[in-house]
Structure formats: structure tokens, C-alpha cells
């Protein structure tokens, strides 16, 4: 009623002043205002928004309103209020890849002078360092090596677990699983079952980019299509393998395609078997363009502003009510924007990444140690909490060295 009364006053004012256009504009503003409020209320009830509703919020909602709604949802979903973080190390099984992604500077083609496959001595050294620096996990990923089939990964995982049974293996990603499945002429379920039995503890959300095939044909044609990525994740959920979901945005995708991506992630989470982990977190991060083929040949650059990233974090919290944890990607957007994201629905700062080679190769410059990530969280007004991959809290190791960042 109050809004209608105010609108009536402005209509009368506009009429007597002879501004008919002002009346039309005021009417539209009022309609938008009511629609926004209806969507805020729907979001706060944790109901699924449609793609059109999500796009309307993204484009029309004031950032402060969007952040407030997302922050309320964060408090509901994560009532302890702490900001979680992790210590792990990204170790690459190989840099050989035939997927030819246009945003990747890390891979080498088969036969390249810089091509490698990581050996067990290297794993030993890196794992011992990881433990010394407080880590509990390796994030093992590589490329689509044309000659490395299922047995290679089974043997690698078993060898690591035999010597380091307490190290968790957060390994591969749906495109790599799809590639192995193709090499073996097998099924996603059989490959995942064998990998889990060999020591895979969880499956990262790597290679999602944007889960729309138009986009994937342009930037990562050699990887599996969107539906196969989703199918692999659903099979992992059926085996109760914890997974995560990601989105790399800010390149050739449209806004609608971002929301199609979110809707597909939400749908897979909605059909996970009851009592299984499903997606433990969602991580949106921005395309890094330094010296990539996308930038050099197609002229595609990351133009995502800080405000747009924070808006995307808030939308992720609102649009994905069935995923508990939303992670801010400090690696790609930096400390200050990641800190702001904690007031826009994010509750997790991810890992300090004792080693990271892929995104860094495309220009991501930001780094944290176990001390500085906690300082950053406290600066933002939150209490830091060390966690593992499935968001169980960890105690800080009694003996821990601070890594000297030299990469």
C-alpha cells in the first residue's frame, strides 16, 4: 500500500508537470521493485529460481540487496559462521594433453621436449613437503594423455596410498574420467569404481568451464561435452564419491549460458541419492587470459569487474540452494574481492594451494600461506577454520612450517 501511495503521488506530480514519460518510467520502476521483492522472498525460502528469474536478479537487483539476500542464505546454510579453508597441493600427473583447450598454457603435445609424466620419487618428495607444510591432500590432475589408461591411474593411486595412507587423493575430473573411459572402451561407472577402489577419495569439478556445448566447441573442443560431464558426476554421486562443481566465466559465454550452467549443476545435485555427498561445494572463477590462444587469436579477454564477480558469487548462493558451500576464488580475483565475497554468500576460501601450475600459467598471480590466508579471513571480520575436502574441521597440526612461496 505504501509503495502504491508513493507511486500515485509521483504520477500526480508527473501529470501536473506534463511529464508523461516520467509516469511510464515510474510505473516500470514500481513493477521491477515488486518483482525483485518477490524474487528475494522466493530465494529466502530456498526455492529454485528459473533461468529468467536469475537473469532478472543479476541484471536488475542492486548489488547491496543481492549481497544481503545471499548473506542471509549463507547464515542459514552455514550457521557456525566460520570461513573454512584448506591446505593441499596441486600435483600434475602429466602435462601431456590432446584436448587443445584455448585457455590453457600448461599442456604440451605428445612428444614435446617439455612433456613429462610424474614419477613416484617426485610424488614422495612433494607429499613429504605437503605434510611438513600442514597439508592432508593432493589434488592430482593432468591432461588427456593418449597412452595413459585406467591401469596407469590405478597403479599410481595404489602406490601413493601404500606409502602415504593418510594422504587424501582429490583426483582427475570428469573430462579425464571420460577420456580414460574412451581409451578403455568401458563405462563411467566401471572406471570410477576402479579408481575409487585404488584410492581416489573425491572427484574435483575440473573441466566444467561452461556446461553449454556451443561454448565448449569454441574453447575446449577436445574435452567431453556438457552432458557427459554431468553424467560422470552423477555416476560419482551414486558411488558416494564426494565431488565439487566449478564454473569458469568471463570469456565467450553469454549471461544466459552462465545460468544454463548453474541450472544443470543444480539438477544433478537434486537427483543425487539420499545420504550421499554429491557436490560439496561450488566454485565460480574467472577466465585468466595471459598469453592464451583465446586472447592472442580470438581477442577474448577477461573483462570481469570486481562487482560482477561479487554479483556472481551472490547469484551462486541464491540459485544453488541445494549446495551448502560457496567458495571465493582468491587465486583468480585476489584477496580484497574474495574478502568482499564473504559478505555476498561465500563461506569458504578454498585451499592455499602449496603448488598450482595450470591457472597460474595463464596469469593468476595471487598466493597465500597458512598464516596469510587466516590473516585475510580475520581482516574480513570472520573466524578461519581449517577443513578437509568434505568440510570436516581439522585441528591445526602441532608442527607446521610456513611454506616459502617461490613459484
pLDDT digit string (tens) for 207-249? 999 999 999 999 999 999 999 999 999 999 999 999 999 999 9
Q: Is 167 exposed, middle or buried (0-12, 13-18, 19+ CB in 10 A)?
A: buried
88-92: strand order across its sheet: 88-92, 137-141, 168-171
Confidence of residue 4 (pLDDT cuts 50, 70, 90): very low
> What are the two backbone dihedrals, phi and then psi, of residue 71, each rounded to the nearest 5 degrees?
-65, -40
Determine the average pLDDT of the residues in 29-44: 86
Does the pLDDT at position 361 exceed 90?
Answer: no
Residue 365: what pLDDT? 72
Contacts of 138 (CB under 8 A, 6+ apart): 88, 89, 90, 91, 123, 126, 127, 130, 160, 167, 168, 169, 170, 171
- Grid cell 550457521 in the structure block, residue: 79
Asked if 338 and 349 touch (Cβ cutoff 8 Å), the reply is yes
CA 359, chain centre distance (Å): 13
pLDDT digit string (tens) for 295-329? 898 899 989 999 999 999 999 999 999 999 999 99
pLDDT digit string (tens) for 135-152? 999 999 999 999 999 999
Residue 188: what pLDDT? 98
Long-range contacts, stretch 122-127, CB < 8 angstroms, 24+ apart: 123/91, 123/156, 123/159, 123/160, 124/163, 126/89, 126/91, 126/355, 127/160, 127/163, 127/164, 127/167
Other CB atoms within 10 Å distance of the CB of residue 119: 9
Cα–Cα distances (Å) from 133 to 3, 100, 126, 304, in that order, read: 58, 34, 10, 33
Does the pLDDT at position 12 exceed 70?
Answer: no
Asked if 52 and 59 touch (Cβ cutoff 8 Å), the reply is no
Residue 288: what pLDDT? 85
What percent of the chain clears pLDDT 70, i.e. is strictly above it?
Answer: 90
Confidence of residue 291 (pLDDT cuts 50, 70, 90): confident
Does the pLDDT at position 30 exceed 60?
Answer: no
pLDDT digit string (tens) for 373-406? 999 999 999 999 999 999 999 999 988 988 887 6
> What are the two backbone dihedrals, phi and then psi, of residue 171, each rounded to the nearest 5 degrees?
-130, 150
What percent of the chain clears pLDDT 90, i.e. is strictly above it?
Answer: 80
pTM of the model: 0.91
Sign, Cα dihedral of 191, 193, 197, 202? positive
CA 186, chain centre distance (Å): 28
Determine the average pLDDT of the residues in 50-74: 97
> Strand pairing of 83-86 and 88-92?
unpaired
Cα 230 to Cα 225: distance, rounded to the nearest angstrom: 9
Residue 32: what pLDDT? 74
Residue 392: what pLDDT? 97
Amino acid at each position: 500500500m505504501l509503495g502504491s501511495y508513493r507511486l500515485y503521488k509521483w504520477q500526480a506530480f508527473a501529470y501536473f508537470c506534463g511529464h508523461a514519460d516520467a509516469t511510464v518510467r515510474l510505473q516500470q520502476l514500481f513493477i521491477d521493485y515488486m518483482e525483485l521483492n518477490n524474487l528475494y522472498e522466493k530465494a529466502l525460502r530456498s526455492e529454485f529460481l528459473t533461468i529468467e528469474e536469475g537473469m532478472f536478479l543479476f541484471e536488475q537487483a542492486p548489488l547491496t540487496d543481492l549481497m544481503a539476500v545471499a548473506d542471509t542464505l549463507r547464515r542459514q546454510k552455514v550457521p557456525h559462521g566460520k570461513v573454512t579453508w584448506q591446505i593441499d597441493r596441486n600435483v600434475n600427473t602429466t602435462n601431456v594433453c590432446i584436448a587443445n583447450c584455448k585457455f590453457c598454457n600448461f599442456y604440451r603435445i605428445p612428444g614435446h621436449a617439455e612433456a613429462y609424466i610424474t614419477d613416484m620419487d617426485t610424488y614422495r618428495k612433494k607429499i613429504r613437503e605437503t605434510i611438513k607444510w600442514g597439508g592432508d591432500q593432493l589434488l592430482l590432475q593432468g591432461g588427456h594423455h593418449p597412452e595413459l589408461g585406467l591401469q596407469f591411474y590405478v597403479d599410481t593411486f595404489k602406490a601413493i596410498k601404500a606409502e602415504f595412507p593418510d594422504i587424501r587423493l582429490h583426483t582427475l575430473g570428469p573430462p579425464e574420467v571420460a577420456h580414460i573411459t574412451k581409451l578403455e572402451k568401458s563405462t563411467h561407472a566401471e572406471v570410477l569404481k576402479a579408481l575409487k577402489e585404488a584410492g581416489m577419495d573425491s572427484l574435483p569439478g575440473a573441466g566444467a568451464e561452461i556446461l553449454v556445448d556451443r561454448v565448449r566447441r569454441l574453447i575446449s573442443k577436445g574435452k567431453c561435452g556438457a552432458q557427459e560431464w554431468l553424467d560422470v558426476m552423477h555416476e560419482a554421486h551414486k558411488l558416494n564419491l564426494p565431488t565439487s562443481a566449478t564454473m569458469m566465466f568471463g570469456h565467450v559465454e553469454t549471461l544466459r549460458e552462465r545460468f544454463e550452467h548453474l541450472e544443470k549443476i543444480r539438477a544433478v545435485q537434486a537427483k543425487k541419492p539420499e545420504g550421499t555427498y554429491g557436490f560439496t561445494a561450488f566454485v565460480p572463477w574467472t577466465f585468466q587470459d595471459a598469453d592464451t590462444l583465446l586472447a592472442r587469436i580470438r581477442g577474448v579477454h577477461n573483462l570481469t569487474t570486481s562487482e560482477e564477480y561479487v554479483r556472481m558469487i551472490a547469484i551462486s548462493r541464491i540459485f544453488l540452494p541445494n549446495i551448502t558451500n560457496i567458495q571465493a576464488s582468491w587465486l583468480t580475483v585476489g584477496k580484497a574481492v574474495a574478502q568482499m565475497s564473504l559478505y555476498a554468500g561465500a563461506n569458504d576460501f578454498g585451499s592455499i594451494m602449496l603448488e598450482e601450475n595450470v591457472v597460474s600459467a595463464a596469469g593468476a598471480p595471487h598466493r597465500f600461506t597458512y598464516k596469510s590466508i587466516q590473516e585475510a579471513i580475520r581482516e574480513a571480520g570472520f573466524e578461519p577454520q581449517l577443513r578437509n575436502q568434505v568440510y570436516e574441521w581439522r585441528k591445526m597440526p602441532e608442527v607446521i612450517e610456513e611454506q616459502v612461496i617461490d613459484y
